[in-house]
Amino acid sequence: AIRGAQLGMNVAVIEAEHLGGICLNWGCIPTKALLRSSEIYHLLHNLDEHGISATEATFDIQKMVKRSRKVAKQLSNGVKHLLKKSKVTV
């Protein structure tokens, strides 16, 4: 849509809920954000291997999910901004 608008075409995007679709809002991106949080948790539990000591790490799954949704929302807002900037009708 953005490329079409850049080429001078009149372009519209039809989206029932959230710009960016399934991958950005519910699939790939939120999953990767959760995986990153899990990776950090794992790294904290293995600091001793690197000669680093720290107090015990805990996790809060609700905060992890909230962060993943925040990341997805930020990217969706970015898509919205790019579409508006390119004068794509939503």
Provide the residue ranges of all domains of the chain, joining segments of one domain with +: 21-82
Task: Give tens-digit pLDDT for 7-52.
Answer: 999 999 999 888 999 999 999 999 999 999 999 999 998 899 999 9
In this structure, the chain runs to a length of: 90
Residue 74: pLDDT over 90? yes
Q: What is the pLDDT of residue 6?
A: 95
54 or 24, higher pLDDT: 24
Residue 89: pLDDT over 90? yes
Output b/e per residue, 34-46; b: 16+ Cβ within 10 A.
Answer: beebeeeeeeeee
Q: What is the pLDDT of residue 54?
A: 85
Instruction: Report the CATH fold assignment for 21-82.
Output: Helix Hairpins (1.10.287)
